[in-house]
Chains A and B, each alone.
Chain A
């Protein structure tokens, strides 16, 4: 057996690959792409929610939202670290985000224009993310799998918090309830797009499934998400903006309408409502922080020089 065959057999036995193990270049590249994309999504995902931190309508909601956005920054950190075990640096990954070479979840290219979006992002967006991420706790690359265990615990907490925000709105005044419905109308379809293209159009699915990086296909996860979400929407008393949505007794699943794939590809190509703003905001934070990072480095060099002089 050559190295590639041994690797494939090892993966097939469900064993974990660790940073120092041999791995094919393509496996390493796929992981770097996927983990960094995930890390970038966490960091860019801070922006739409950050947009409501200063306007959260109660001190309790403000605290919960701040803690949530902070968790996302933390997820970004673990995921960048997991990615660094594959031999890339965080600086290079961030440069790829800013240059547009690396992608992040397209959902964050939609604007968060109402407070209800804080509920919807938690409920639908984090809910869809959990569907995608829970299987990753068993992904074949050890550091990624372990990072995902922690990420998923916190994400499911976020999803519940999002649901609570919407529940409060739906139990509130007519205006609050309308705010919740308007938000679901905007986010429903983009949330379904989070599972990626249809299986027959997905470039990466087959190889990623064989390598056990991915464990379910895009369409399987999307269906699972819809089946789980529809009863929750009923509980809230909100209408899902899809006239074709109905229970299919035979399939044991909900049927649903056609996703606007043209929009999906447009947003991926950079034409979503906020693509440019999101990257500009990240780039600006990075540029404005340059003097801080340089100073911290200069200071630690000075201190190191002082302590070596003292030691000598």
Chain B
């Protein structure tokens, strides 16, 4: 059987994807223009697809007969190890695109590194596919951050506020815990400090172009990777899991 850390590393990649995919799906039918309704749904579909592949892989490593839906639907809050940033409510369109930009840039760099490792070939294959999707996510979000940052006074103000709200959740992305360290030592996961340097470059350049500037690093929130969440995750899971849990074990 695979190491516990290995399974957790894969499952938490899935947790990030499923939680963010769920948040994005809340836009379905409510986007600011029809084109963006389609784009946000597309992003959601990509994340749900990534989550399915990652959970399937985690289930296979775990070898206890758990399929993808077990991970998404039949675990409680504290078993989810996603980053706090992805569980925050969707906010306005500015908050959504700012989160997309900050998070997808991180996710892109992480998947790019995972696609190049050889310790877990199944993970490398999932990552290679995900990188192509995430490259588009970064582009899409960056375009909107620049457009809204350098748009009207109102859009700049809204985007600025979202950036301030999200910034304290960026620290957690680059703070390794025991599972990250295990995966890095095993030659699977990238060094988060090196990832951070590249993330900084991309983020700073875009925020400058968007006339927003980069916030000062202050106190950073953390806890997601240890299963300690915001109050928002419980509601997200309650909604997502309600029907599946009412009928455990059935086929849909």
The residue that B28 contacts in the complex, of A69, A76, A173, A302, with Cβ under 8 A, is: A69
A57 engages B243 (CB within 8 Å)? yes
**A253→B18 CA distance, assembly (Å):** 48
User: B219 in the interface, Cβ–Cβ < 8 Å?
Assistant: no
Complex contacts, B37 vs chain A, CB 8 Å? 46, 70, 73
The residue that A74 contacts in the complex, of B38, B52, B148, with Cβ under 8 A, is: B38
Considering only residues 76-119 of chain B, those with a C-beta below 8 Å from chain A are 92-94
* Given A54-B25, A60-B252, 17 new contacts (CB under 8 A): A43-B34, A46-B29, A50-B28, A57-B252, A58-B244, A63-B49, A66-B45, A70-B42, A70-B45, A73-B37, A77-B35, A171-B251, A281-B30, A284-B30, A294-B151, A294-B154, A295-B152
A168 engages B155 (CB within 8 Å)? no
Within the complex, what minimum Cβ distance (angstroms) separates A179 from chain B? 9
Residue of A70, A165, A176 ringed by the most chain B CB atoms within 10 A? A70
User: B73 in the interface, Cβ–Cβ < 8 Å?
Assistant: yes
Q: What DSSP secondary structure best describes chain A's contact surface?
A: helix
**A295→B155 CA distance, assembly (Å):** 6
**A283→B52 CA distance, assembly (Å):** 34
Considering only residues 204-252 of chain B, those with a C-beta below 8 Å from chain A are 239-240, 242-244, 247, 250-252
User: With A55-B240, A67-B45 in contact, do A73 and B38 touch (Cβ < 8 Å)?
Assistant: yes
- What is the interface of chain A, defined by CB distance below 8 A to chain B? 43, 46-47, 49-50, 53-63, 66-67, 69-70, 73-74, 76-77, 80, 115, 165, 168-169, 171-173, 175-176, 281, 284-286, 288-296, 298-300, 302
**What residue of chain B has the Cβ atom nearest to residue A292's Cβ?**
B32
| Binary A-proximity of B120-153 (CB < 8 A = 1, otherwise 0) | 0000000000000000000000000011101110
B252 engages A168 (CB within 8 Å)? yes
Complex contacts, A302 vs chain B, CB 8 Å? 150
Considering only residues 58-77 of chain B, those with a C-beta below 8 Å from chain A are 68-69, 72-73
A59 engages B32 (CB within 8 Å)? no
The residue that B34 contacts in the complex, of A77, A115, A165, A172, with Cβ under 8 A, is: A77
- What is the interface of chain B, defined by CB distance below 8 A to chain A? 18, 22, 25-26, 28-38, 41-42, 44-45, 48-49, 51-52, 55, 68-69, 72-73, 92-94, 146-148, 150-152, 154-155, 158, 239-240, 242-244, 247, 250-252
**A295→B41 CA distance, assembly (Å):** 22
Give the 3 A-B residue pairs with the shortest CB-CB distance, closest first. Answer: A289-B32, A295-B151, A295-B155
B240 engages A54 (CB within 8 Å)? yes
Residue of A57, A69, A168 ringed by the most chain B CB atoms within 10 A? A57
Q: What DSSP secondary structure best describes chain B's contact surface?
A: helix
B48 engages A62 (CB within 8 Å)? yes
A57 engages B244 (CB within 8 Å)? yes
Complex contacts, B251 vs chain A, CB 8 Å? 168, 171-172
**A169→B239 CA distance, assembly (Å):** 21
B31 engages A285 (CB within 8 Å)? yes
Within the complex, what minimum Cβ distance (angstroms) separates B245 from chain A? 9
User: With A173-B250, A299-B151 in contact, do A292 and B33 touch (Cβ < 8 Å)?
Assistant: yes
**A66→B48 CA distance, assembly (Å):** 10
Complex contacts, A293 vs chain B, CB 8 Å? 32-33
Complex contacts, B242 vs chain A, CB 8 Å? 55
Within the complex, what minimum Cβ distance (angstroms) separates A151 from chain B? 15
Complex contacts, A294 vs chain B, CB 8 Å? 151-152, 154-155
Within the complex, what minimum Cβ distance (angstroms) separates B3 from chain A? 25
The residue that B33 contacts in the complex, of A289, A298, A299, with Cβ under 8 A, is: A289
Within the complex, what minimum Cβ distance (angstroms) separates A117 from chain B? 12
